[in-house]
Amino acid sequence: MILHARNEQRAKEAATAFGDPAAVVVGDLASLEETRRLAADAVAAAQGPLDAVIHNAGIGSSEHLTTGDGLDAIFQVNVVAPYLLTALMPPPGRLVYLTSGLSSRGQLVWDDLQWKRRRWDGSQAYSDSKLHDLLLTFAVARHWPETITNAVDPGWIKTRMGGRGAPGSLADGADTPVWLAVGEEPDATVTGRYLKSRRPLTPNPLAVQPAQQERLLNVLAELTSVSLPTT
Phi, psi (rounded to 5 degrees) for 4: -120, 135
**In angstroms, rounded to a whole number, what is the distance separating the alpha carbons of residues 157 and 169?**
6
Active-site position among 83, 97, 126, 194 = 126
**In angstroms, rounded to a whole number, what is the distance separating the alpha carbons of residues 42 and 45?**
5
6 three-class SS: coil
**In angstroms, rounded to a whole number, what is the distance separating the alpha carbons of residues 193 and 131?**
14
Amino acid identity for residue 12 in this structure: K
Active site residue 116: no
Active-site position among 130, 158, 194, 196 = 130
Pairing status of strand 193-196 against strand 199-200: antiparallel
**In angstroms, rounded to a whole number, what is the distance separating the alpha carbons of residues 174 and 210?**
29
Phi, psi (rounded to 5 degrees) for 6: -70, -35
29, 55 Cβ separation under 8 angstroms: no
Active site residue 130: yes
Question: Dihedral sign, CA of 84, 85, 87, 88?
Answer: positive
Active site members: 126, 130
